Amino acid sequence: METFQALLAQNLTATLSAAGLPRAGDVTPATDPRFGDYQTNAALILAKERGENPRTVAKRVCDAWVPYDLCEPPAIAGAGFINFTLRAEAVAQRIADLSQHERLGVGRADSPKKIVIDFGSPNVAKPMHVGHIRSTVLGDALARIAEFLGHAVIRDNHIGDWGTQFGMVIWGWKHLLKREALTNDPIAELVRIYKETNECGASDPAVREACREELVKLQAGDAENSAIWQECVALSLGEFARAYQVLGIRYDIQRGESFYNDRLPGVVERLVRAGLAEESEGAICIFFREITDLVDKPCIIRKRDGGYNYATTDIATVDYRIQDLKRDTVWIVTGAPQQLHFRQIFEIARREGYTADFRHVTHGSILGDDRKLMKTRSGENVALQDVLNEAITRARKIIEEKNPELEEAQKADVARMIGIGAVKYADLSQYRMTDYVFSWERMLSLQGNTGPYLQNAYVRIQSIFRKAAEGPASAHPNAITLSEPAELILAKRVCQFAEVVPTILNDFRPNILANYLFELANSFHAFYETCPVLKSDELARSSRLALCALTARVLQRGLYLLGIEVPEKM
């Protein structure tokens, strides 16, 4: 099902050809709806190329425009923009068609990709903290949207389960561990023994040496140390899984850094043999001498002591994703500070001949009220589980005030949907590179650009159908009528869903979808306030019920693509 935007673009191309003009410009949503629904800057571009007056060129295009049922005759505005206003009858027919369309008018990608999306990436023996929200919910949303558009997606949780810190964790396990504490709160106990070991090592060289020896034994495959490490990994994965269950996040594979250990010697040997890596001061490095801003930033892939690092592991990870998983596209969702690292990794992959589409999807940070990285009063990272619990608790209080007659089990379920949805929406409604201040009051508000506001729009629609004593699925009239301005505006907004969704992956911007859904909810609430549904006459009643049902489907599908559930009641 082609969108209005696509159909107008086709007619514009035909019109330009009929006028003896080359294809130019795009058809885009109008910046000011007072002047139309769509616009094109084709006349401005052509006038500049030809040295003519833009409005003269625009008139030539409008005169050549072939009238058809989709829109009114085009109008010229400003310096030479051409505006198009949809006919109400065309919008009504599209609403009727969309009501029968399972995908709400959204097409599938012409060239589906095989994508692996790396997001989340927590570290073993450390709690997930508030900073993990951005990568986790952004990656999940991108995965959902890519799948909906027809791409084959593998979600990969690249877990930090290897490194020098395990020497301290293992020493602390052997000398400081409290089993009861480990049972009650595994991650807190692992953090405690790590911190205490670190403090001991800072003042006692013997402890530092003992930790190093424990690490060497682990790397050599010592049975006792390997068993401790495996238990740490299992305990951490259990904690991660509980957080992901609350967040509604799933992964197809979870590959820790340790998964690639056996591949690292071969990676270094291959790169040296190919002449891409060389020895420098005892280390094996890859230099980027022809890239101006990377000349003095070599990538070390084997340290002087023979050890490997994150870069070596990530090069092995590229091999695995391309050769083993057979992916042609790799998206890595991490914070902006890792830009240099992944720029190097992707450059190395290209030098090795990999032709996959590598993208580092970066994001900003979550800030506290002081506009600094969000921390506890003691300066610690705010635990993710604490944030999730607080979100649900605060949402539960709102429900108790607004709808106390709900059953207890329903209150708990709705509180989870609203609380977690609020946290996700607060993040995804921001441009991903924007740092934003975390505010409970703002994100849980039932007014403004928030998750609960959008969920409430859906809930209002469900209440209409409960009062009508008929389900949304039955709302398929023979004819749609759009006689009131508010219902026409809402109908046009609904039709834009199919235009918005395919653009999100262009620059990995779920906030485009979030902002569209906010505008849709605004349009629905305006319609709800000015257009009676159940009390209108039969023709208008059935038409408006169908429009409500379709609006609810778009809200539900759009929020699902952001990883947000919708309750039936609030």
Rounded average pLDDT over 491-501: 98
Q: What pLDDT is recorded for position 31? A: 85
Q: Is the pLDDT of residue 478 over 80?
A: no
* Tens digit of each residue's pLDDT (9 = 90 or more) over 421-459: 999 999 999 999 999 999 999 999 999 999 999 999 999
Q: Using alpha carbons, list the distances in angstroms from residue 495 to 40, 196, 285, 451, 454.
A: 19, 59, 54, 21, 18
Q: What pLDDT is recorded for position 471? A: 65
* Angle in degrees, CA 33, 35, 37, rounded to 5: 50
Structure tokens, 293: 């801003």
CA nearest to 121, candidates 342, 410, 355: 342
How many CB atoms sit inside 10 A of residue 219's CB? 16
CA nearest to 560, candidates 492, 522, 502, 510: 510
* Tens digit of each residue's pLDDT (9 = 90 or more) over 63-103: 999 888 899 999 999 999 999 999 999 999 999 999 999 99
Q: Is the pLDDT of residue 302 over 90?
A: yes
Question: Could you tell me where the DSSP H helices lie in 185-283?
Answer: 186-203, 205-219, 223-247, 264-273
Q: Kindly report the pTM of this predicted structure.
A: 0.94
- From CA 131, how far away is CA 335, in angstroms rounded? 9
Distinct helix (H) and strand (E) counts, the chain:
21, 14
Q: Find where tokens 């159940």 sit.
A: 534
Q: Which residues, at least 6 apart from 311, have a Cβ–Cβ distance to it below 8 Å?
A: 299, 300, 301, 341, 344, 345
Q: Is the pLDDT of residue 112 over 80?
A: yes
What is the DSSP-derived secondary structure letter of residue 448? S
Handedness of CA 373, 375, 381, 383 (dihedral sign): negative
Burial class from Cβ neighbours inside 10 Å (0-12, 13-18, 19+) for residue 213 reads middle
Q: Using alpha carbons, list the distances in angstroms from residue 50 to 136, 414, 466.
A: 50, 60, 61
Q: Is the pLDDT of residue 266 over 90?
A: yes
Q: Is the pLDDT of residue 410 over 90?
A: yes
Q: What pLDDT is recorded for position 380? A: 82
Name the more confident of 498 and 374: 498
Q: What pLDDT is recorded for position 408? A: 93
- From CA 185, how far away is CA 193, in angstroms rounded? 13
What is the Cα 206 distance to its own chain's centre? Answer: 47
- From CA 299, how far away is CA 301, in angstroms rounded? 6
Confidence of residue 475 (pLDDT cuts 50, 70, 90): low
Q: Using alpha carbons, list the distances in angstroms from residue 219 to 83, 195, 227, 307.
A: 67, 22, 12, 10
Burial class from Cβ neighbours inside 10 Å (0-12, 13-18, 19+) for residue 306 reads exposed
Q: What pLDDT is recorded for position 35? A: 87
Q: Which residues, at least 6 apart from 58, have a Cβ–Cβ distance to it below 8 Å?
A: 43, 76, 80, 81, 82
- From CA 181, how far away is CA 264, in angstroms rounded? 36
**Residue 27, SS3 per DSSP:** strand
CA nearest to 95, candidates 513, 493, 484, 522: 493
Question: Which residue(s) pair with 118 in the sheet?
Answer: 156, 332
Confidence of residue 479 (pLDDT cuts 50, 70, 90): confident
Q: Is the pLDDT of residue 473 over 70?
A: no
**Taking each helix axis from N to C terminus, what angle separates 88-99 and 485-495, rounded to the nearest 10 degrees?**
50
Rounded average pLDDT over 226-238: 97
How many CB atoms sit inside 10 A of residue 238's CB? 11
Rounded average pLDDT over 372-388: 87
Domains of the chain listed by start with CATH number:
4-86 (3.30.1360.70), 165-247 (no CATH), 384-561 (1.10.730.10)
- From CA 568, how far away is CA 413, in angstroms rounded? 11
What is the DSSP-derived secondary structure letter of residue 322? I
Structure tokens, 315: 């090069």
How many CB atoms sit inside 10 A of residue 530's CB? 11
* Tens digit of each residue's pLDDT (9 = 90 or more) over 315-347: 999 999 999 999 999 999 999 999 999 999 999
Per cent of the chain over pLDDT 90 is: 90
**Residue 377, SS3 per DSSP:** coil
Q: Is the pLDDT of residue 557 over 70?
A: yes
- From CA 480, how far away is CA 113, in angstroms rounded? 38
**Taking each helix axis from N to C terminus, what angle separates 538-561 and 510-530, rounded to the nearest 10 degrees?**
160
Return the H-helix or E-strand segment holding 437. strand 436-437
**Residue 26, SS3 per DSSP:** coil
CA nearest to 347, candidates 433, 289, 278: 289
**Residue 77, SS3 per DSSP:** strand
Q: Is the pLDDT of residue 472 over 90?
A: no
Q: What is the total residue count of the chain?
A: 570
Structure tokens, 436: 């934003």
Q: What pLDDT is recorded for position 470? A: 72
How many CB atoms sit inside 10 A of residue 273's CB? 9
Confidence of residue 468 (pLDDT cuts 50, 70, 90): confident
- From CA 146, how far away is CA 117, in angstroms rounded? 10
Return the H-helix or E-strand segment holding 314. helix 310-319
Confidence of residue 381 (pLDDT cuts 50, 70, 90): confident
- From CA 434, how far away is CA 367, in angstroms rounded? 10
**Residue 422, SS3 per DSSP:** helix
